Amino acid sequence: MKTVKSFARSFRWAFHGVAYALSTQRNMRFHFAAAALAVVFSLILDIGPLETLWVLLAIVMTIAAELWNTTTEKMVDLSMPRPHPLAKAAKDTAAAAVLAAAVFAVAVCIIVFGSALLNRVMDSGAALASKFALYMVLALLAGAVVYVLFARAYKSGYTMNDQKGESNMSAGELKAEELLEHAREAGKRAYAPYSNFWVGAALLDVHGRIHYGCNVENSAYGPTNCAERTALFRAIADGVKAGGFRAIAVMGETEEPITPCGICRQVMAELCPPDMPVILGNAKGNMRTTTVSELLPGAFRMTKEDQL
């Protein structure tokens, strides 16, 4: 039973991947529309099994190449947020793979549909037109189904449930539990020889990148830095602007879900949106969700008058 659930879960993640690509990548929507047209023409022209296989191969190759291109772009953005010649080369090469697949698909369509069309020139115009109208309606219906199942499945942001203290991201995004797992991994890197108390943080920015933080202690105590601030300062150093964050998860070895210290709350109030979800957890798997403004109501902010 566990194997079946794991198998079904892997399909769900794949579904989320397609939903993400359809919702965020204009080229992917174009490829799906072109694939629908190719299927329509295949039905209208009544091509043979071998020709159908060639058309399906062209469709799968193009969509797979676009998915790989999207994966490459996100991985490069995650690992190298600043412009770099190698990052550009990686993205350009992935885009070239899409171009090669698209050229192959166009060639297949010209050869297959061109030959089939020549063989159907003797068909009456009315019969051909009625076929075209019928299959176009079917294609539009199929497109609507795809839109509902995939494109609408992906929505940006977290959905909150304050009564249950839970938070999860919609389809195609990291769930709260997954972001906490990233925080757990970050906590394993903590430098805490004096307290032996590790804390990890995972900060999600508006571009979908995760910035990691852990507590780093010091024998003088004062220079010690918490995991939340480590993640925030690291993200700012990597080029993320203040306010450009979507959520942060914090994990520690506490009885109840860990809570940030006062200094970290003030730093979050300075750099993060007030309604940004803050996901708090512990090593036992307990979790609760709050927001930046709930952690520090009435946070101090320096005004221009204060600066003068």
Three-state SS for 208? coil
On whether 293 is known to bind a ligand per the annotation, the reply is no
196 a known binding residue?
no
For tokens 């799968």, the residue is 60
Are the C-beta atoms of residues 203 and 177 closer than 8 Å to each other?
A: no
Which residues are paired to 200 by β-bridges?
214, 251
Which residues lie below 8 Å from residue 76, measured CB to CB, with a gap of 6+? 87, 90, 91
217 marked as part of a ligand binding site: yes
Question: Quick check: is 228 catalytic?
Answer: yes
To the question of whether residue 158 is assigned a binding role by annotation, the answer is: no
Is 130 among the annotated ligand-binding positions?
Answer: no
**Residue 173 annotated in ligand binding:** no
272 marked ligand binding residue: no
Active-site choice (66, 181, 185, 305): 66
Residue 157 and residue 273 in contact, taking contact as beta carbons nearer than 8 Å: no
92 marked as part of a ligand binding site: yes
65 neighbors 101 (Cβ within 8 angstroms): yes
Encoding tokens for residue 121?
């020139």
The reply, when asked if residue 242 is annotated as ligand binding, is no
Question: Is 221 marked within a binding site?
Answer: yes
Q: Is 66 a residue of the active site? A: yes
- Kind and range of the H or E element at 305? helix 304-307
Buried/exposed 272-298: b ≥16 CB within 10 Å, e otherwise = bbeebbbbbbbeeeebbbbbbbebbee
Q: Please check if 66 is assigned to a binding site.
A: yes
264 annotated ligand binder: yes
Active-site residue, selected from the candidate residues 177, 181, 185, 228: 228
219 is in an annotated binding site: yes
Nearest to 297 by CA among 280, 274, 278: 274
Instruction: Give me the helix-helix angle, 26-45 and 85-119, nearest 10°.
Output: 20
User: Residue positions in the annotated binding site for ATP?
Assistant: 73, 91-92
User: Residue positions in the annotated binding site for a divalent metal cation?
Assistant: 73
User: Residue positions in the annotated binding site?
Assistant: 66, 73, 91-92, 215-221, 226, 261, 264
User: Residue positions in the annotated binding site for Zn(2+)?
Assistant: 226, 261, 264
Residues acting as catalytic residues: 66, 228
User: Residue positions in the annotated binding site for substrate?
Assistant: 66, 215-221
